[in-house]
Chain A
Amino acid sequence: MIAVLVVSLVLLSTQLYIYEVGRSLEETRSIRANDFVFAVKLGSKHVVTGSLVNISVGGDGSTLFANLERWVSFVEGLYQFGKPVLNFTLRNTSPYANGIRLSWDTEGFGISSAYADFNFSLQDGQVSVQLPHTVNVTTSLVIEAVYRTLQGSVKQINVTCNVLNEVNPALAENVTLLYENSGAWLRADEQTGYTFTDYGNGTYLISFEADVQEENVNVSAQVYDLRGIYVQANVTCTSIP
């Protein structure tokens, strides 16, 4: 009788132990899957950002696709509890081509943008995750420029630059302003009376004086944002009295 009880006791306590361990492992697996998914989502965004940095400074247009392929292959081999699958599609509808849009026009607006759709899935029996998401990294530049004739052909030129990351005002790492004089592009910061005002909210005011014969004064702002993405915008200054 006692022997029977002892044996059943051992069996029951073993079962209890297995139940507790199994339950905790499921919780562990679920927690780690969620963290892993979040890390992959962040990483995808960084790959798109880095690729746009590369392409905006003259890198090959296929960099985005190549970098994402590498990231996908890297991620799919990492997860220890199951097989993750990360798919991506680069936006190819106008104005995007291969997920990239670089538009630096002469109307005072420039945009450097990358766009990719992702679908991440993870299934291993215990955990099931399906996460479609979109990554859109965009740096925009809006410039306005006016000039006032001071004396003869000497003009005072004021240029206002507004930098945006996605839709929000953003700081610039570097702002360079050029102006056109007799077909040559010259740096504004080498001219008389050059001042650069940083309003701290993504707005920059640049003033300088230049001897320009033409009535139409063209300026070009070249900006790197804090992520290293390059964007450029050109505009013809408006004359003010």
Chain B
Amino acid sequence: MLNSRGQMRTIEAFLSILLLFSTFALATLVSPASNIDNDNTLATMGMQTLASMDSDGWLGRIIDEGNWTTLADALDILLSVGISYNLTVYDENLQPVNNVSISNGIISNRNVVSVQYPCASPSPQGKCYLLRLQLATAR
């Protein structure tokens, strides 16, 4: 009777250890790190895209002109295929400036990354803008 209870305890301990390690493995697999890595990649891509357009002041000039079509065309070219985006431009008082949508489609993905880019125009008026770029991997 005692031997039987001892065996049961041993089996129980083994099962517990097995359960413990399998849960660890599962927890690592389902942790959101992979999503966050993807978010980081998207955010970095978005900021670098805007920075490349801003390097010689082109971005600020295009916004000054209100040339939203050209801005959307540039984003279409510079962002990777399969990335959905939606850009909103705000003025110094954080009021939206673009009167048309600057987007390549509807972002319905739950994992939307949003980056904010401060931009100054090299124009004589020295206007300041805040660009909010939402990015998602198209499904």
Contacts and interface: CB of A to CB of B under 8 A. Distances in A.
A32 interface: yes
Contacts, number: 132
Contacts of A63: 124, 126
Nearest to A38: B51
B126 A70 contact: yes
Interface in A29-75: 31-32, 35-36, 38-40, 42-44, 46-47, 49-51, 53-54, 57, 59, 63, 67, 70-71, 74-75
Interface SS, B side: helix
A16 B120 contact: no
A227 interface: yes
B99 interface: no
Interface stretch (B21-29, B71-79, B80-88, B102-110): B21-29
B126 A39 contact: no
A228 interface: yes
Contacts of B39: 28
A128 interface: no
Given A49-B57, A227-B57, A80 B116 contact: yes
Contacts of A53: 122-124
Interface string B48-62: 101100110100100
Contacts of A49: 57, 122
Given A43-B128, A227-B122, A16 B27 contact: yes
Interface of A: 1-2, 5, 9, 12-13, 16-17, 20-21, 23-25, 27-28, 31-32, 35-36, 38-40, 42-44, 46-47, 49-51, 53-54, 57, 59, 63, 67, 70-71, 74-75, 78, 80, 227-228
The list of the 4 closest CB pairs from A to B, nearest first, reads A67-B126, A54-B124, A35-B47, A24-B36
7 contacts: A12-B23, A12-B24, A21-B33, A39-B119, A43-B118, A70-B92, A227-B122
Given A20-B28, A20-B31, A228-B122, 11 more contacts: A12-B20, A21-B31, A23-B33, A32-B47, A35-B48, A35-B115, A39-B50, A43-B119, A47-B126, A67-B126, A228-B124
